[in-house]
Amino acid sequence: MALTHDPAPAPAAPRAHGVRRLGVHARRDAGTRLAAASTLWLSLLLVTWWWVTGGGIGDLGAWATGLQSIGRITGLASAVLLLAQVLLMARVPVLERAFGQDELARIHRLVGFTSFNLMLAHLATITWGYAGGALASTPRTLWDLVVNYPGMLLATAATACLVMVVVTSIRAARRRLRYESWHLMHLYAYLGVGLAIPHQLWTGADFTSSPGRQVFWWSAWIAAAGSVLVWRVGLPLWRNLRHDLRVAAVVPEGDGTVSVHVTGRALHRLPVEAGQFFSWRFGGRPGRTRANPYSLSAAPDGRSLRITVQDVGDGSAAAAGLAVGSRAWVEGPYGRLSPRARTQRTVLMIGAGVGITPLRALAEGLEYAPGEALVLYRTSSAPIFVDELNDLSQRRGLVVWGLPGRRRAPDSWLGSGVGATTDLAALRSWVPDVAERDVFVCGPRPWTDLVLRDLRGAGVPEHHIHLENFGW
């Protein structure tokens, strides 16, 4: 049985009776997002208040002291945002569940570049201010600060680490790097944060001039360091020792794609949902120390896990050669493309290429009545999971529409067989109630950007859209 290639308007979905506690987790996650944002803004307001009460505004009246005052406030704000960066990507479960990896990465990028720019402003203005406002004396003053002030050599090394991380995070540079290389260099951000602490303690009066400030900064540093040690080191180590994951089978799916089946101990205790992903390392292959993110392509059943990998790079190419019995090490689960994010009874899933993998798992793991769940699957080559999707269609009433063919235009997310209508008109025609559905989207970023454009054009609220990009 082939996927349907001639979409017609989706039938009216009957009311489901099996979907339990719809939206409960979504409301809790919304509260977590509000609390996290409030904590960050309150922290920035607190250090700003300390700067004001420490004479920061009054010092702006003179040139040299004004430069120093600007250097103080930019340094304080930069330090807050630097620690926020660490917490954002420390894989803290409550933040992972509330934001999802895509949103955390977006916020992390925004906070990171803001913190870096403030750090540069801090370095420039504080040095210029210590030079008495004389630009010609600034290089000599900078040398004196680095060589003679306690902690400044370490701060210089910290700056170098952060510069490397930021430069390699610029999109033009990222395109030239393998994901594995970029990920390894990105870890130097932790080193940069650690090397910056002595400078803040030894020369930063704004950090240590009162017990309240010391409590605030030590608490923030301990929270950041503890989160990394617990959630990025301790928990993955514990889970891998507990579950002892091993490759059970490698099954070709066609078109350079393979499914890797993994078994282990007590997998029913692994807190993972359909649609989520892990960062995977496999033993017995080159590059086994580097992690690659792969989504589950089948709903977890407590006995095994399945990922489906397309050959798009060095790490993914090696998946086809994995030996049965090879050890698998994972970090996760991560991602919000899961039943947890659901708020509506009716669901639309839109995927392209290998982006169908988490949607295939969702189609199996979600609760829905016949006709309530619809999959739009666009592919320019042979689709995968055709038999499995058709089986779900027959057994559970999943509606599956295949949209084959190359994209008909650079600004279109649909295939060439759609006709002359616009993408937005096609979406509204096929799914008239799209604005009342939860919409799960997965695919390459340029393609998902076009899908998001039309979902918003069709009136889908932002909190109904759940996105995961693959690629980087």
Model pLDDT for residues 253-298, shown as the tens digit of each residue: 987 899 999 999 999 999 999 999 999 999 876 656 678 889 999 9
213: left (phi over 0), alpha (psi -120 to 50) or beta: alpha
Residue 15 identity (one-letter amino acid): R
* Residues 213 and 318 grouped into a single domain: no
Q: Token digits for 289?
A: 């120390």
**CB neighbours of residue 388 within 10 Å:** 14
Domain annotation covers residue 234? yes
Does one domain contain both 296 and 378?
Answer: no
Whether residue 9 lies inside any domain: the answer is no
8 belongs to a structural domain = no
Strand residues in 287-437 grouped as ranges (E): 292-295, 304-310, 328-334, 347-352, 373-379, 399-404
145 and 268 assigned to the same domain? no
The span from the CA of 176 to the CA of 197, in Å, is: 32
Query: Considering only CA atoms, which of 254, 179, 212, 161 is closest in space to residue 49?
Result: 212
Q: What span, in angstroms and rounded, lies between the C-alpha atoms of 375 and 388?
A: 13
pLDDT in tens, 368-402: 999 999 999 988 777 889 999 999 999 999 999 98
CATH of the domain at 308: 2.40.30.10
Domain boundaries, position 279: 244-334
Residues 88 and 137 in one domain: yes
Residue 271 sits in the same domain as residue 328: yes
Number of domains in the chain: 3
pTM: 0.84
Residues 46 and 102 in one domain: yes
pLDDT, the chain, mean:
86
Average pLDDT rounded to a whole number, residues 412-424: 83
Cα separation, 57 vs 78, in Å, equals 18
Q: What is the pLDDT of residue 383?
A: 87
**Each residue's pLDDT tens digit, 112-138:** 889 989 989 998 999 999 899 998 999
Asked which of 221, 239, 257 is the last residue of a domain, the reply is 239
Domain match, 354 and 429 both: yes
Q: Are residues 199 and 105 both part of a single domain?
A: yes
CA separation, residue 189 to residues 221, 235, 237 (Å):
14, 21, 21
| AA letter at 348 | L
Cβ-contact 371, 11 below 8 angstroms: yes
DSSP 297: S
Same domain, 218 and 355: no
In a domain, 85, yes or no: yes
Q: What share of the chain in percent tops pLDDT 90?
A: 57
In sequence order, the β-bridge partners of residue 259 are 251, 308
